[in-house]
Amino acid sequence: MPLMKRKNPEEKPDSQTKAGSEKPYKGCLFIVSAPSGAGKSTICRAAQKKFPDISYSISFTTRPPRAGEKEGVDYFFISPSDFEHRIQQGEWAEWAKVHGHYYGTSAEFLNQQLSAGRRILLDIDIVGAEQILKRFPDSVTIFIMPPSLDALRQRLQKRGTDDAETIKKRLIHAEKEIDRKDLYRYVIVNDNLDKAIDEFCDIISRYPPA
């Protein structure tokens, strides 16, 4: 069964606060991470359907669009010089350079949505989550994991998008990610998708919009 963990069972929902500021935000930021193949994207899409008021943070990238990707839907596509300028201006809540391309999350978007009392869903890896938590320390963190690495291997193989060597690398990376799961306030084990979605949506429902 999907397992949900809270670090403190008596813990109450937090109000978001700016790093270095005592002024509380009215909204709530949900940081969601998972190993590739754990079902994170499917669970997030289901939550967006159940909570149509929730905002989804779309990342910026300097890589060119892939076939079928749309501007403002999959990513915001910008030039490397523009991205680097925004680094200098401190406009990213988090950013990284992966395989020669930049990826980042807009701090302005998060600030605007939180100040307006909106709930935001942010799908990001653990490194990005750590950066976000430095700036938004009261974010609600959720980690989604497979029931086992063997189950994850089977899912990746069934997906059919990666060769054997890539799957091997993903599994090694997944093991390292799972070792960091205690960084997160909630942990959901996705061994039944419908139940995992229910667990995920139950968490979101505990933090209603202002």
Q: Per residue in 24-70, pLDDT tens? A: 668 999 999 999 889 998 999 999 999 999 999 999 999 999 888 89
Helix spans in the chain (H)? 40-50, 80-88, 107-115, 126-135, 149-159, 164-178, 193-205
Determine contact, residues 129/93, Cβ cutoff 8 Å: no
Please count the other Cβ atoms lying within 10 Å of the Cβ belonging to residue 59: 18
Domains along the sequence of the chain with CATH:
28-205 (3.40.50.300)
Q: How high is the pLDDT of residue 72? A: 93
Question: What is residue 144's three-state secondary structure?
Answer: strand
Residue in 108, 105, 124, 104 with CA at minimum distance from that of residue 116 = 108
> What's the Cα-to-Cα distance from 133 to each of 21, 90, 123, 146, 162, rounded to whole Å?
14, 16, 13, 24, 31
Q: How high is the pLDDT of residue 18? A: 42
- b/e sequence 94-125, b meaning 16+ C-beta within 10 Å: bbeeeeeebbbbbbebbbebbeeebbbbbbbb
Place of tokens 């430095």: 134
Q: How high is the pLDDT of residue 160? A: 79
Determine contact, residues 42/193, Cβ cutoff 8 Å: yes
Q: How far apart are CA 138 and CA 106, in angstroms?
A: 18
Tens place of pLDDT for every residue, the chain, 210 residues? 445 554 443 444 444 444 444 346 689 999 999 998 899 989 999 999 999 999 999 999 999 998 888 999 989 999 999 999 999 999 999 999 887 899 999 999 999 999 999 999 999 999 999 999 999 999 999 999 999 999 999 989 988 778 899 899 889 989 999 999 999 999 999 999 999 999 999 999 999 886
Question: What is residue 10's three-state secondary structure?
Answer: coil
Neighbour-count burial of 1, counting CB atoms closer than 10 A to its CB (0-12 exposed, 13-18 middle, 19+ buried): exposed
Q: How high is the pLDDT of residue 24? A: 60
Q: Report the Cα–Cα distance between both ends of the chain, in Å, rounded.
A: 32
> What is the pTM for the complete model shown?
0.81
Q: How high is the pLDDT of residue 6? A: 47
